[in-house]
Chains A and B, each alone.
Chain A
Amino acid sequence: MLDTTRPVETPEGIELGLRVAGPVVRALAWCLDFALRILIYMILLYFFTTFNLGDLGIGLFLISIFILEWFYPVLFEVYRDGATPGKQAMHIKVLHESGVPVNWSNAMVRNLLRAVDFLPFLYGFGLISMLMNHDFKRIGDLAAGTVVVYEEEHVSLKKDTAWMAESPVSLPVPLTLEEQQALINFADRSSSLPESRLIELANIVTPLTGTSGKRGVKMLYQFANSLIGNK
């Protein structure tokens, strides 16, 4: 089955899927970071020229460009949970292939090889490499063994929804965890679905609810209510 997740097994033997991020969102994150750096350079240039430092100012300015260009991503990736400000804005971050945060050597290798990805012009090689790789890795990622992934979305139930007012009814038959999740999902997303669609969905699980139509929908709400622990 086609998907954009990369399976990772944790030491505890749990299989996780890292949701790897592709070229479009990463390009936009890069643009944001680039814009931010340009802004910093402009401020620095203003600072160095107003203080009339002459050649010393130009020298300091060039050194600061060197430091920012090479270490801006490294520092953010190591100390700010794998995300530069641009990545943070796009809700993506860098992780090691095994799902753990990147360390210094990963971040250094990944960002030193940025120079190769940048060739021949504005990340031409990086783009080609991302398109040819299953996990959208650019050359730096391949060398450092890192992936760029989407941040986990913290899902919580919508507050104050009508279905929570239904009296909870416990399930007549045991269901697996995924199946229970589906019932809660159904109730949680019910406010964004038209009623006809809700009935259609509820009719599929008639063996569970024992009824159909509007009463089936109501029944599912009641099951979901007991599953989330409303008494």
Chain B
Amino acid sequence: MQFDRMEAVVRPRNHWESIDLGFSMVHFWWKPLWKIWCMVMLPVFLLCLFLIYAHHFLTAMLILWWLKPAYDRILLSFFSAALFGEQPNILHYFKGLLNTKLLLSLTFWRFDLARSFHLPILQLEGLKGKVLHQRSQLLHKNTGSTARWLTIVSFHFEWLLSLSIIGWLYFMTPSLYSEYWFSLWDILFNEKNVIVSMTLDIIRLFFGILVIGIIEPLYVAAGFALYLNRRTHLEAWDIELDFRRIREHLNKSVVL
């Protein structure tokens, strides 16, 4: 990895601080990020719309949630390219879906609690079998628990934001109509009118995608930053950069 071209400051951070670096990546590149992100989510949105049309709302939400490892790969391709100042064409990002053990991630590893931390090892290092296992164990050693906490906190952020949207809508409802909110539960589950229930389902799907759209890039970027930080500690990237500066300095003074 040519970390001298990296657009982030290389320094050994503590674990939480590196998570924050991931969050600032999203903050910094949100414009190009959301372009890619919308393109990823569009087909998923259409698929879910079709399922809702076929009266499978819960299946639609489950699929939206279950496919997260697939979105993660595209997001990680984005972050790893952006970090080195590259802006490849769109197709490049989708290559992240190939050869990265996507099927395993969608099945056995779907409930891996340190998912976003393990993803860069899978996707960027291209290791296989036993070597991969040893490598992830080595990197996991002292960052694993923070990576798990990251997943737990991100999960809570997700439902918290969903409820916040509902709460915000409630606050925005004129008090004249706010009594309808108390029959919302009834409408959601027992509504006979197909158009009303389907519209509500689509609104719920939209907010679901919005919340995943906010949290998932943060989660992936934070996992990526944790991975970078672990390697910075393990391989002394910061010292290498300092040493290169010393060499440049000395070479220059010799010429002078």
Question: Which of B41-49, B70-78, B96-104, B237-245 lies on the face that meets chain A?
Answer: B237-245
- Bound state CA distance, A24 and B18, in angstroms? 11
Q: Interface residue count for A (Cβ, 8 Å)?
A: 50
Query: A2 with B25: in contact, given A20-B20, A124-B164, A150-B17 (CB under 8 Å)?
Result: yes
| B60 contacts chain A at the CB level, 8 A cutoff | no
- What is the number of contacts between chain A and chain B, taking CB atoms within 8 Å? 150
| A127 contacts chain B at the CB level, 8 A cutoff | yes
Contact with B along A73-100 (1 / 0, CB 8 A): 0000000000000000011000000000
A1-B27 in contact (CB<8A): no
| B178 contacts chain A at the CB level, 8 A cutoff | no
| A14 contacts chain B at the CB level, 8 A cutoff | no
- Bound state CA distance, A28 and B15, in angstroms? 13
Contacts of B166 in A (CB 8 A): 120-121
Contact with A along B212-256 (1 / 0, CB 8 A): 001000100010000000000111101110111111011101100
- Bound state CA distance, A182 and B223, in angstroms? 28
Q: How far is the CB of B3 from chain A (nearest CB, A)?
A: 12
| B61 contacts chain A at the CB level, 8 A cutoff | no
Identify the closest chain B residue to A178 (Cβ). B242
- Bound state CA distance, A193 and B167, in angstroms? 51
Identify the closest chain A residue to B219 (Cβ). A24
Considering only residues 7-34 of chain B, those with a C-beta below 8 Å from chain A are 7-9, 11, 14, 16-17, 19-21, 23-28
- Bound state CA distance, A197 and B23, in angstroms? 31
Q: Which of A122, A150, A197 has the most CB of B within 10 A?
A: A122
- Bound state CA distance, A127 and B238, in angstroms? 32
- Indicate which residue in A2, A136, A208 contacts B7 across the interface (CB closer than 8 Å): A2
Q: Which of A19, A131, A176 has the most CB of B within 10 A?
A: A131
- Bound state CA distance, A120 and B251, in angstroms? 60
Interface size range of chain B in the complex: 35 or more
- Indicate which residue in A28, A122, A178 contacts B163 across the interface (CB closer than 8 Å): A122
B153-A197 in contact (CB<8A): no
A24-B167 in contact (CB<8A): no
Contacts of A124 in B (CB 8 A): 160-161, 163-165, 167-168
Contact with A along B156-199 (1 / 0, CB 8 A): 11001101111110110000000000000000000000000000
Q: How far is the CB of A154 from chain B (nearest CB, A)?
A: 13
| B206 contacts chain A at the CB level, 8 A cutoff | no
| B114 contacts chain A at the CB level, 8 A cutoff | no
| A4 contacts chain B at the CB level, 8 A cutoff | yes
| B64 contacts chain A at the CB level, 8 A cutoff | no
- Bound state CA distance, A30 and B26, in angstroms? 23
Identify the closest chain A residue to B170 (Cβ). A120
| A123 contacts chain B at the CB level, 8 A cutoff | yes
Q: Given contacts A24-B153, A119-B167, A120-B165, list 13 more A-B pairs with CB under 8 A.
A: A1-B9, A2-B8, A21-B16, A28-B149, A127-B160, A128-B161, A131-B27, A182-B242, A186-B236, A186-B243, A192-B234, A193-B236, A197-B236
User: What 9 pairs across the A-B complex have the smallest Cβ distances?
Assistant: A124-B164, A120-B167, A22-B20, A182-B242, A2-B8, A25-B16, A3-B9, A207-B250, A204-B243
User: Interface on A for B, CB 8 Å cutoff?
Assistant: 1-5, 19-25, 27-28, 90-91, 119-125, 127-128, 131-132, 134, 136, 150, 153, 173, 175-176, 178-179, 181-182, 185-186, 189, 192-193, 197, 201, 204-208
Can you pick out 25 interface pairs between chain A and chain B where the beta carbons lie within 8 Å of each other?
A3-B24, A4-B17, A4-B24, A5-B9, A21-B16, A22-B16, A22-B23, A24-B222, A25-B19, A28-B153, A90-B16, A119-B167, A120-B165, A120-B171, A121-B160, A123-B160, A127-B160, A131-B23, A150-B17, A175-B246, A176-B249, A182-B239, A182-B246, A201-B236, A207-B247
